[in-house]
Amino acid sequence: MIFSTQKSDLLKSVGHCVKIIDKKSPLPILNQLMIKTSDEGLFLSATDMDLGILCKIPASISDHGSICVSGHLLFEILKKLPDGSSVNFKFNNERTQLIVDSGRSKFSIACMDSQNFPELIQSEYDSTFMISPEILKDMIDSTQFCASHDETKYNMSGIYFHSVTTDQGEKIRTVASDLCRLACCEYDAPEGSQGMPQVILSKKTVSEVGKLIESTKSEIQVSLSSAKVEFVVKDERSEYTFISRNIDASYPSYESALELKSDQIITADRKQFSECVDRVSIVVASDKVNVIKLFVCQNEAKLSAVSQDIGSAQEEIEVDFPYDNAIEVCFNSRFFYEITQQIKETEVEVMITDGDESCIIIKPVNNSKKMYVLMPMDV
């Protein structure tokens, strides 16, 4: 196996691979990065048996072959090489070491036989469609932070990715919740996505896919079955195929939360409201639950927080609340702040529902694609 490639191409691909490699795996082969050359090009592969990635990058290839090396070691070597440099690879005479040289630098890396490396099998899928990277990234970013970190809530530990039929037509939707808050984002369903399998994507899956699509302007190919999902991402020089097992569970019913409404709406400048919450919450930042109180009356909102050990804080801001009555609610300031940070619109609508199912609904103004539900707190 003899080939050469550019540091920038290789570093980017190895960087994506090492995020998949499980250094703590009891199987030595899973600690490795597989490098393979063929008539089709240079390929890098990594897997932890739940997630896998296959990278195709441009290279000048003189001899075909495959080998496994420490991905983390190769990544550290590449980071130290000068930018813009070319990197050359070949076996030593005994085929026990991979020789890496660039300029006046030369490294010998221990190898493992690639014969036992798990093959990344591309499954039969029930649904395949194309989606813009901007839409997919927004659907991930708008919801993933609300996924549960409670290991006992396995079915809520990822993003629920599915299609729905609404009064406005077919949509694809992502939902995430930790039972304290819920995030929902939907877009018009791309051709081929209607009736797609309803799947739960793990947090690691959506995190890595989100990073993969940051640098591409090309549409992403998404393929789904009930068991697996595959994303094919292309940029100007490389191609990445990311395959992941779906979480094997049923997502709980959430639709009733999206139907909650209130006749009274607080409209506020998003940035001003968010920064006010952030400032007031300083005095309760060390508390287990960062509770602050919101009191709204006559187009004015007062936010306050009290800590027995630290002190208190309050701040007032102008809002649009053209009603005669006053409302008061307490909520987790960190959860509220994280929600408003994901909204890009200038203004937000905040609604507090009445009755036994009292909730705080947060929406961007003039954007029906996103909705957040936050549970109030007792003080």
Q: Kindly state whether residues 156 and 80 are assigned to the same domain.
A: no
pLDDT at residue 379 above 70?
Answer: no
Q: Kindly state whether residues 33 and 93 are assigned to the same domain.
A: yes
pLDDT digits (tens, 9 = 90+) for 205-244: 999 999 999 989 999 999 999 999 999 999 989 999 999 9
Q: Kindly state whether residues 213 and 139 are assigned to the same domain.
A: yes
Q: Kindly state whether residues 314 and 282 are assigned to the same domain.
A: yes
Quick one: average pLDDT of 294-310? 94
Which of 256, 271, 301 lies at the terminal end of a domain, its last residue? 256
Residues paired with residue 327 on neighbouring β-strands, in sequence order: 296
Q: Kindly state whether residues 248 and 265 are assigned to the same domain.
A: no
pLDDT digits (tens, 9 = 90+) for 279-294: 999 999 888 888 999 9
Give the residue numbers spanning the domain of 369: 260-374
Task: Count Cβ atoms within 10 A of the Cβ of residue 314 and give its class: 0-12 exposed, 13-18 middle, 19 or more buried.
Answer: middle
In a domain, 24, yes or no: yes
Which of 256, 289, 318 lies at the terminal end of a domain, its last residue? 256
Q: Could you tell me the CA-to-CA distances from 293 to 85, 186, 334, 376 in Å, in that order?
A: 57, 31, 13, 10
Average per-residue pLDDT in the chain? Answer: 94
In a domain, 183, yes or no: yes
Quick one: average pLDDT of 352-360? 81
Q: Kindly state whether residues 168 and 65 are assigned to the same domain.
A: no
SS3 per residue for the chain:
CEEEEEHHHHHHHHHHHHCCCCCCCCCHHHHEEEEEEECCEEEEEEECCCEEEEEEECCEEEECEEEEEEHHHHHHHHHHCCCCCEEEEEECCCCCEEEEEECCEEEEEECECHHHCCCCCCCCCCEEEEECHHHHHHHHHCCHHHCCCCCCCHHHCEEEEEEEEECCEEEEEEEEECCCEEEEEEEECCCCCCCCCCEEEEHHHHHHHHHHHHHCCCCEEEEECCCEEEEEEECCCCEEEEEEECCCCCCCCCHHHHCCCCCCCEEEEHHHHHHHHHHHHHHHCCCCCCEEEEEEECCEEEEEEEECCCEEEEEEEECECCCCCCEEEEEEHHHHHHHHHHCCCCEEEEEECCCCCCCEEEEECCCCCEEEEECCCCC
pLDDT digits (tens, 9 = 90+) for 98-151: 999 999 999 999 999 999 999 887 778 999 999 999 999 999 999 999 999 998
Q: Kindly state whether residues 332 and 215 are assigned to the same domain.
A: no
Q: Which two tokens stand for residue 193?
A: 């996505």
Q: Kindly state whether residues 202 and 155 are assigned to the same domain.
A: yes
Which of 116, 150, 175 lies at the terminal end of a domain, its last residue? 116
* CATH number of domain containing 302: 3.10.150.10
Instruction: Return d(Cα 113, Cα 29) in angstroms, integer.
Output: 9
In a domain, 327, yes or no: yes
pLDDT digits (tens, 9 = 90+) for 146-182: 999 998 999 999 999 999 999 999 999 999 999 999 9
User: What's the pLDDT score for residue 145?
Assistant: 97
Q: Kindly state whether residues 217 and 247 are assigned to the same domain.
A: yes
With the CA atoms of 146, 159, 137 and 50 taken in that order, what torsion angle do they form, in degrees rounded to the nearest 10? 120
In a domain, 379, yes or no: no
In a domain, 122, yes or no: no
Structural domain count of the chain: 3
pTM metric for this prediction: 0.93
pLDDT at residue 187 above 90?
Answer: yes
Q: Kindly state whether residues 152 and 191 are assigned to the same domain.
A: yes
Residue 356: which pLDDT band, with cuts at 50, 70 and 90?
A: low
